Amino acid sequence: MIIVLRPGAKTTEKKHIIKKMKEMGFQTMVSEGLERTIIGLIGEEDLLRTLPIEAMPGVERVMQVLKPYKLVSREFKPADTVVKAGNVRIGGKKIVVAAGPCAVEDKDSLLHIGKEVKKAGAVILRGGAFKPRSSPYAFQGLGEEGLKYLQYVREKTGLLVVSEVMDTRDVALVEDYVDIIQIGARNMQNFNLLKEVGLAKKPILLKRGLMATVKEFLMSAEYILSQGNFNVILCERGIRTFEDSTRNTLDVSAIPVIKSLSHLPVIVDPSHAAGKWEYVSALSKAAVAAGADGLIVEVHHKPEDAMSDGEQSLLPKTFSAMMKELKPIAVAIKRTI
């Protein structure tokens, strides 16, 4: 960590800072520049981060040299993490596709969709039983009933299932029913929930908050790993920007950025990013070409009747066509799908 002093910082201020840092056990290196004095600190940067050094008299700015996360970083674990869920491996050569409706609505249509997406090549069924909705008057999901339907389709089709948990009190319940527990974008910084799923035995699919930096995204993953659960799958799903022709802006760069910073697998949700089904195929291709380890796609057989996000759902036949188009792209980058 580096402390930059204000132009007119007093000698007493400088001495006070150095004394304080030494008391904390840090080695200091002072460099008197032409216009500024800077103090370099050597020691445990994590400890330093907890101190409001910028509040010290004479300090203009503090610059951090190291990254604020540890367990999720490539430096901590250079090799790619491959998350295992049932017989599925996420983060390996094969690109993994999850598909299904935004919300679980009823048993029959879920089974119908499940069969269709499996036929097209999906290996995981997605479907919300607990739904975060911005309006209290919108459909909030079927709750445990929905989880039961997911389990039912899981047994009938052999697909794994992923579903979201929104409340610390529901973690044990959801874990009982699903193969992968999802933390939604709006809960990416619900730190109590992160800690709770950090104690779960199932893998976690962590969605990026729509206004979270990659750094904050990795910090939220660090919460989960810090509790002992290393099976975390990161999911880029679009960030909020000024552009309004899509629901969110898919940050496709986050794929190579995260790959360089972290060992965790990264998948992409093109449906929530686009908000319109017409663009889902192009975004899926972009994600695969950029190195994503998987996709999570909304598919519904009657989007106009869907109880949530029908605008962005693909029809099974459109999904199937897209899967066919993705195959040669996967091959082109020496992977499979």
Task: Enumerate residues 197-256 that contact a second copy by CB under 8 A.
Answer: 209-211, 213-216, 219-220, 222-223, 226, 239-246, 249-256
For 154, the token pair is: 């899981």
Q: What distance in Å separates the CA atoms of residue 277 and residue 298, rounded to the nearest whole number? A: 9
Mention every residue, 6+ apart, whose C-beta is less than 8 A from residue 235.
Answer: 205, 206, 207, 208, 266, 267, 268, 269, 296
What's the one-letter identity of residue 142?
A: L
Q: What distance in Å separates the CA atoms of residue 74 and residue 69, rounded to the nearest whole number? A: 10
Q: What distance in Å separates the CA atoms of residue 4 and residue 63, rounded to the nearest whole number? A: 8
Q: Which of 15, 19, 24, 54 binds a second copy (CB under 8 A)?
A: 54
Q: Which of 9, 13, 18, 40 binds a second copy (CB under 8 A)?
A: 40
Q: Which of 31, 84, 108, 199 binds a second copy (CB under 8 A)?
A: 31
Q: What distance in Å separates the CA atoms of residue 62 and residue 46, rounded to the nearest whole number? A: 14
User: What binding mask, one character per residue, do residues 58-97 give for a second copy by CB under 8 A, x or -?
Assistant: -----x-xx-xx-----x----------------------
By the 8 A CB rule, do 98 and 297 touch? yes
Residue 304 Cβ, how far from a second copy at the closest point, in Å? 4
**13, 179, 308 from 35: Cα distances, Å:** 17, 58, 58
Q: Which of 13, 144, 167, 175 binds a second copy (CB under 8 A)?
A: 167
By the 8 A CB rule, do 330 and 337 touch? yes
Q: Single out the segment in contact with a second copy by CB under 8 A; choices: 86-94, 120-128, 172-180, 325-333.
A: 325-333
Q: What is the distance of C-alpha 78 from the center of its chain?
A: 19
Q: Which of 178, 295, 307, 322 binds a second copy (CB under 8 A)?
A: 307
Q: Is 176 in the site for a second copy (CB under 8 A)?
A: no
Q: Which of 89, 107, 133, 335 binds a second copy (CB under 8 A)?
A: 133
Choice between 30 and 158, CB closer to a second copy: 30
Q: Which of 11, 25, 79, 169 binds a second copy (CB under 8 A)?
A: 169
Q: What distance in Å separates the CA atoms of residue 163 and residue 145, rounded to the nearest whole number? A: 13
Q: Single out the segment in contact with a second copy by CB under 8 A; choices: 91-99, 154-162, 185-193, 199-207.
A: 185-193
